[in-house]
Amino acid sequence: MESRSRTHSGNKRHAKRKRKTRIGKLHKSYDEYLLELIEVTQEKWQKERELLDRSFGYDPRLEFEVKKAEMKYFYLFKEARYRQISGRK
């Protein structure tokens, strides 16, 4: 009976290791997705800002869209910094 309990506890340790690597893969794929999302959001923010700069009249909706895009970008940027993700390789 003792040998069974030892192998059973050994399987638990092995299962925990597998789970950690699986979670690591999920984190890695989410990190890659986050970097792509940051890039897309930054491009959108720059386009909105350029459109605001080129417009002749004052449009509060356009200004709101620029602020919204800026806030999204900086939120994602802070999330990446919190997760210690770098776009550089």
Give whole-number Cα distances, 79 to 12, 65, 75, 82, 83, in Å: 33, 21, 6, 5, 6
pLDDT at 34: 93
Residue range 3-44, pLDDT digits in tens: 555 555 555 555 555 555 566 777 788 889 999 999 999 999
Instruction: At 52, list the tokens.
Output: 């605001």
pLDDT at 66: 94
Give the residue among 28, 29, 41, 32 at the shortest CA–CA distance from 75: 41
Residue range 55-64, pLDDT digits in tens: 888 889 999 9
Give the residue among 61, 30, 63 at the shortest CA–CA distance from 49: 63
Q: pTM value?
A: 0.65
